[in-house]
């Protein structure tokens, strides 16, 4: 079964064709990062206008790269939320129109759920049950995926998402947008044990990163005010280590408690080199299998949406054209 996936929830216009939920035939991404970079973050109005400009071209390219035409596909899947409403509407409307005109089933996909499926692309044999940590610019979710389409969210962030903390601290340090890759890069040159930052005492499997974010920013502010010398690399490395430790510890604990010895990570922050290394080491220590998507499937892409759409269709889930863009939805 061939599914066309469309993703426009934030600043990437993406279209992909995926066979049987696992095999990517094409995955075209037009990134607006260079446009938003100058503003230090995504400007919603500009983002939606760019999606309108690019969507037809990106979908065309997805067909061309796969060597297929619209008559070859079996279904259309698109992200309906969460995300920027104007941006979501572009991809969603395009997908509905295409599905209606070609009489193809249409599936609306939750973006956070979509991220999980990047793992089923990277590991064609991977099957649930598994523990999944979705960490991106907008979300931090710890999930027990019991089966395809059957999951329990056991932890969330109470405030900032992990990626948001990266982005805000990077912005304060003058490292630009997006902050995650910038911090990842400079942290490699820093001493991660130089500074100790606070870890929020938060219940169960939930997270909180806003206190940590403020602590880092206040710390740098104090250093600047006192004219003390410091290296941005040390700040970035110490902050990154703290975030990574929090994420890894809670995820490992959930795996041990549930006895589900498979952990997968997903979302933009899953591209973080320190996070990947720490997970790999801790999982090896505890005899847990560790899965992480290829870099190109960590950040926003339509292949993961097409994959998720396929598994929904396999469970008999088809969406109505009444499905609207929803900026704030959880899993
Ligand atoms: O999944 P994604 O592309 O978009 C959302 O769904 O939010 O994730 C983007 C987030 C941004 O916060 C970005 O700074 C972060 O992922 N990110 C990283 C890295 N690459 C992207 N964070 C830490 N280290 C990275 N290497
Ligand atoms: Zn995302």
Mean pLDDT of 278-285: 98
Using pLDDT thresholds of 50, 70 and 90, give the confidence band for residue 14: very high
The atom number, within ligand 1, closest to the CA of 179 reads 14
CB of residue 86 inside a 6 A radius of ligand 1: no
pLDDT band at 165 (very low <50, low <70, confident <90, very high): very high
Count of residues for the chain?
A: 331
Rounded CA separation 281/270 (Å): 15
**pLDDT over threshold 90, residue 185:** yes
- Burial class of 96 by CB neighbour count within 10 A (0 to 12, 13 to 18, 19+): buried
pLDDT of residue 272: 98
* pTM of the entire predicted model: 0.96
The gap between the terminal CA atoms of the chain, to the nearest Å, is: 26
Q: Which of 268, 308, 328 to mutate to test the pocket of ligand 1 (most atoms within 8 A of CB)?
A: 268
Q: How would residue 177 be classed by pLDDT, with cut points 50, 70 and 90? A: confident
CB 90 within 8 A of CB 48: yes
136 is in an annotated binding site: yes
- Round to whole Å and give the CA distance between 172 and 216: 10
Give me the pLDDT at residue 37, please: 86
Residue 188 and residue 273 in contact, taking contact as beta carbons nearer than 8 Å: yes
Cβ atoms of 274 and 292 closer than 8 Å: no
Pocket test for ligand 1, best of 112, 118, 136 (most atoms within 8 A of CB): 136
Query: Does the pLDDT value for residue 269 go beyond 90?
Result: yes
Average pLDDT of the segment spanning 105-131 = 98
**5, exposed or middle or buried, with CB in 10 Å at 0-12, 13-18, 19+?**
buried
Residue owning the nearest CA to atom 22 of ligand 1: 180
- The mean pLDDT value for 240-251 works out to 98
DSSP code of residue 70: G
Strand-pair partners of 133: 142, 265
What pLDDT is recorded for position 330?
A: 86
Question: Which residues, in sequence order, are bridge partners of residue 12?
Answer: 31
- Quote the ligand 1 centre to 149 CA distance (angstroms): 24
Q: Would you say residue 160 has pLDDT above 90?
A: yes
Question: To which residue do tokens 């409403």 refer?
Answer: 85
Residues with CB under 5 A from ligand 2 (ion): 136, 300
Is residue 325's pLDDT more than 90? yes
Kindly list the structural domains of the chain, giving each domain's residue range(s) and its CATH number in brackets, ordered by start: 2-118+297-314 (3.30.420.40), 127-295 (3.30.420.40)
Q: Is 227 annotated as a binding residue?
A: no
pLDDT tops 90 at residue 41:
no
Percent of the residues in the chain that have a pLDDT greater than 90, as a whole number? 95
Q: Does residue 287 carry a pLDDT above 90?
A: yes
For range 123-133, the mean pLDDT: 98
Among 116, 180, 329, residue to substitute to test ligand 1 (most atoms within 8 Å of Cβ): 180
DSSP state of 41: S
Distance separating alpha carbons of residues 191 and 211, to the nearest angstrom: 22
Instruction: Give the residue from 29, 108, 34, 50 showing the smallest Cα distance to 75.
Output: 108
| Residue 248 DSSP label | H
Q: What is the mean pLDDT of residues 182-193?
A: 98
Q: Tell me the pLDDT of the chain averaged across its residues.
A: 97
């Amino acid at each position: 079964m061939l599914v066309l996936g469309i993703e426009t929830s934030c600043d990437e216009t993406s279209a992909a064709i995926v066979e049987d939920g696992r095999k990517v035939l094409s995955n075209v991404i037009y990134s607006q990062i260079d446009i938003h970079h100058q503003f230090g973050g995504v400007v919603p109005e500009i983002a939606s206008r760019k999606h309108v400009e690019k969507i037809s071209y990106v979908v065309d390219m997805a067909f061309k790269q796969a060597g297929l035409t619209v008559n070859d596909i079996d279904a259309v899947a698109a992200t309906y939320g969460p995300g920027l409403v104007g941006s979501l509407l572009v991809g969603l409307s395009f997908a509905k129109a295409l599905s209606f005109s070609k009489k193809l089933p249409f599936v609306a996909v939750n973006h956070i759920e979509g991220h999980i499926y990047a793992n089923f692309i990277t590991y064609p044999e991977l099957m649930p049950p598994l523990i999944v940590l979705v960490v991106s610019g907008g979300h931090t979710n710890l999930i027990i995926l019991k089966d395809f389409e059957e999951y329990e969210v056991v932890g969330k962030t109470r405030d900032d998402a992990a990626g948001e903390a990266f982005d805000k601290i990077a912005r304060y340090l003058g490292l630009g947008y997006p902050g995650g890759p910038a911090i990842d890069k400079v942290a490699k040159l820093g001493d991660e044990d130089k500074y100790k930052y606070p870890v929020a005492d938060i219940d169960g499997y939930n997270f909180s990163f806003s206190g940590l974010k403020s602590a880092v920013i206040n710390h740098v502010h104090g250093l600047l005010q006192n004219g003390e010398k410091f290296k941005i690399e040390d700040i970035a490395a110490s902050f990154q280590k703290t975030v990574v430790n929090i994420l890894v510890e809670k995820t490992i604990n959930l795996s041990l408690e549930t006895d589900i010895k498979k952990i997968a990570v997903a979302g933009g922050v899953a591209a973080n080199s320190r996070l990947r290394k720490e997970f790999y080491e801790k999982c090896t220590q505890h005899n847990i299998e560790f899965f992480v998507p290829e870099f190109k499937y960590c950040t926003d892409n339509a292949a993961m949406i097409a994959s998720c759409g396929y598994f929904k269709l396999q469970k008999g889930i088809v969406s109505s054209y009444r499905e609207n863009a929803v900026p704030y939805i959880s899993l």
